[in-house]
Structure 1
């Protein structure tokens, strides 16, 4: 009996891992619109290959039923409903990310930088402030301006050749837990490194390498079709 329980746990973990890689299946399971017996036959070869042994269809059906009853999968259905209503996705390239340690003069230097930013409405600028450091992201045409104005500050990082992707989210995003986890999980699966994540109530901006911006954009855009 202990031996059988151990096998079932293994089947459950492998089936769960398989389904979690296919968010459209998560949604369909949550809605109860999939025939579990038919699905078990489809996934059986991959599950058996992963476990290295023959598995009964009934064991896979049981694992799928547990998943479909799981609260996480019900929550996934709510998340997908929100993501289907993602709004405008805006991409900007040729950006530089500066990180400075906080100081008494930092805000004044940022004020001077904003004066320069306001002279050209086409340049990109965003800033965030943490407990110990402040971050400034600008179009690379402003690199020299930042370096001059912040010459007396301590710069701990300068990352160049970055792109930003700004995503407009529907207002329901603040009432459904797991939205950001769902998005960032899929970006991580694609091997995309996020230099910065900057958010407001109904939109967020990520900063990635220029070379990864196409796949990052596609990954986010594809969420609308889950």
Structure 2
């Protein structure tokens, strides 16, 4: 049998930004209860008092706050080195039979220059390369016969070392990315390994993005 608490919890969990706002205690529960009241009543098939919804929200927000602070924040306080690189270009190519050979040729050239930033990822239909803009001419020469779907320059990267336990705690990446989203930061690319992730942002937003990530250690 559905209860007010279970329906409210189901409603909130389907809306990540609302869930985060509740966990941080920055939302007016009375106003929220009025807003969601019609949906809750539809789910239950009967009229519900605002006060009952408010009580369900209070219990849920306390539970969400505990879960957020007890596990996720413990991991985030142990964030390791944060590395920033600037003057990057982001290329996107369609996958082809020759694209891997072109990448191998590019990496051979980059190995001769340890100061160059390079990262790559491959999807089903596209291959992405982010590289220091000093290599732009070389990239465009090597990949001149490939189909370029996008090129974006004036980018910066922020690479973050995460504690090893990040792989067993759910919600780490969501917790980080929702704060970046709240600050209006556009993520051009996200590249990750087991204990490290890199975000690519515009150079005009890198300082703000760096502060958001650095401040996570102080939560």
TM-score by length of 1: 0.75
CA deviation profile, 1:83-127 (whole Å, cap 9, x unmatched): 111111000000000000111111111111011101110010001
Consecutive unaligned residues in structure 2, runs of 5 or more: 35-50
Counterpart selection for 2:100 from 100, 107, 114: 107
Find the counterpart in structure 1 of residue 68 from structure 2: 76
Q: Give me the whole-angstrom Cα distance separating, in 2, the residues matched to 1:67 and 1:100.
A: 45
TM-score by length of 2: 0.77
Question: Do residues 66 (structure 1) and 64 (structure 2) align?
Answer: no
Question: Do residues 223 (structure 1) and 216 (structure 2) align?
Answer: yes
Q: Give me the whole-angstrom Cα distance separating, in 2, the residues matched to 1:108 and 1:58.
A: 63
Find the counterpart in structure 2 of residue 20 from structure 1: 20
CA RMSD of aligned residues (A): 2.9
Q: Give me the whole-angstrom Cα distance separating, in 1, the residues matched to 2:29 and 2:58.
A: 12
Find the counterpart in structure 1 of residue 150 from structure 2: 157
Question: Do residues 98 (structure 1) and 91 (structure 2) align?
Answer: yes
Question: Do residues 176 (structure 1) and 172 (structure 2) align?
Answer: no
TM superposition shift of 1:17: 7.6
Aligned length: 192
Find the counterpart in structure 1 of residue 118 from structure 2: 125
Q: Give me the whole-angstrom Cα distance separating, in 2, the residues matched to 1:84 and 1:156.
A: 39
CA deviation profile, 1:48-103 (whole Å, cap 9, x unmatched): 78899xxxx999676423321x3x44431211111111111000000000000111
